[in-house]
Amino acid sequence: MKILVTHNAYRQRGGEDIAVEQEVAMLRDAGHEVELHLVDSGVINSLAGKAGALLRASHDPSRENWAADLVRTQRPDIVHVHNFFPLLTPAVHFGAARAGAAVVQTLHNFRTICAGAMLMRNEAPCEKCLAGSPLWGVVHRCYHGSLPGSLAITAMQARARRTGVWTTHTHRIIALTEFARTRFIAGGLPADRIRVKPNTIAPPTRPSSPGTRRFALFVGRLSPEKGAAYLVRAWHAFSDIPLVIVGSGPEQASLRAMAPANVEFRGQLSAAGVQDALASARILIMPSLSYEGLPMALLEAFAQGVPVAASAHGSLAELVEPGRTGALFPAGDSDGLVAVLRPLLADPARLGAMGAAARAVFAARYAPKNNLALLENIYHEAIVEADITRTRTRAAPASR
């Protein structure tokens, strides 16, 4: 199968960028012909450039023509879109479908239904736009506190619905979890086109040994939605167990100031550095205040046989099985986190059993072999759907 993958890479490299690379590698290893076309938000440097990108966010005609030309010249069976904001825009769906390709969209976040992309406001889950008008995203300036930015994204959402981006020009939509699927449906996306397929990663080449595990671990951006402040505050109760924090971000200085002596900040690490940290971790802690998508760090932990303790909401509550592959605690509650973690960290045998179960879950659900079969099935469904849509489109004028 010939697949054209397109992705708007982020200014600061993150989990979505890694997920795209891993999926492309999986497809190529399986013998599929994959062309990867990246655009990079890092090219937007000036205020005028940012303003122009927001003005074109709803639909960039040049990107529609770009996508159509790619399909005509490369003739892929599938155009698989990942992040399309802000440079690609939903115009790529129009262009690819118009030129005859089947279009698949993976939704790594909630930007199609939430101006802030996380269904979160004031450090708590927010679904106000799902229950009412998406204009709440403008009222609350949910895109980085910006009124123009929030208005541009809300306009993008409205235009996509009005012009059939999700009902006509995208033939299958991938949600990473069942929880995310329910939120997309609540936000108005077509239920019959959404399929659940998690991210994937290659298994580690050197699995770690439980006997080497020394510390608890946090991996993620040091920003409010990740909840690291609640974790660091809670760690004053664990003087005998080190906590290693991997990542950087706007909260880094304040976290260092409040951290006890047994918290170590390692900053931003390479992929190999993260793997090395996981190899020595007793448990990965994910205290996210947001719902999350499917964090790559969680997959990496499961692959290494490391259990995960996470906030008990959103996708995390679906991904972590309490008592089997980890534990859940109340989001944003340092005392609740301590109450859950204290008995767990005091029981190495229990942590070892959870780690073994996590590795088994990774092999069954997230390893490339089974993930590939899910994705190939979605691609075949999209090709059939695209044929049906084209037939209906050709027949429509005659039926009037």
pLDDT in tens, 299-341: 999 999 999 999 999 999 999 999 999 999 999 999 999 999 9
Give the model's pLDDT for residue 209.
62
- What are the helix (H) ranges across the chain? 15-29, 47-55, 61-74, 91-98, 128-131, 136-139, 147-162, 178-186, 228-234, 252-258, 271-279, 296-304, 314-319, 334-345, 348-361, 368-399
pLDDT over 70 at 5, yes or no? yes
**Could you tell me which CATH number the domain at 2-200+369-399 has?**
3.40.50.2000
For the residues 17-34, what does the mean pLDDT come to? 97
pLDDT at position 55 is: 85
Q: What's the pLDDT band for 390 if we cut at 50, 70, 90?
A: confident
Q: Is the dihedral of CA 169, 172, 178, 180 positive or negative?
A: negative
Nearest to 276 by CA among 205, 226, 351: 205
Taking 70 as the threshold, does the pLDDT of residue 386 lie above it?
Answer: yes
Instruction: Using the predicted structure, report yes or no on whether residue 97 has a pLDDT greater than 90.
Output: yes
Question: What pLDDT does residue 389 have?
Answer: 83
pLDDT in tens, 119-154: 999 999 999 999 888 999 999 999 999 999 999 999
Tell me the per-residue pLDDT of 188-242, one tens digit each, with 9 for 90 and over: 999 999 999 999 999 887 666 666 678 999 999 999 999 999 999 999 999 999 9
Domain ranges of the chain: 2-200+369-399, 210-366
Say if 2-200+369-399 and 210-366 have the same CATH topology: yes
- pLDDT, residue 206, reads 65
CA distance 227 to 220: 10
> Which pLDDT band, with edges at 50, 70 and 90, does 44 fall under?
confident
Choose between 286 and 52: higher pLDDT: 286
**Mean of per-residue pLDDT scores for the chain:** 94
How do beta strands 281-286 and 308-311 pair? parallel
**Is 210-366 assigned to CATH 3.40.50.2000?**
yes
Amino acid at 266: R
Mean local confidence (pLDDT), 84-98:
96
Q: What's residue 399's pLDDT?
A: 41
Q: Please compute the mean of the pLDDT values over residues 83-108 and round it to a whole number.
A: 97
141, 175, 155, 187: which is closest to 374 by C-alpha? 175
Tell me which of 248 and 43 has the higher pLDDT: 248
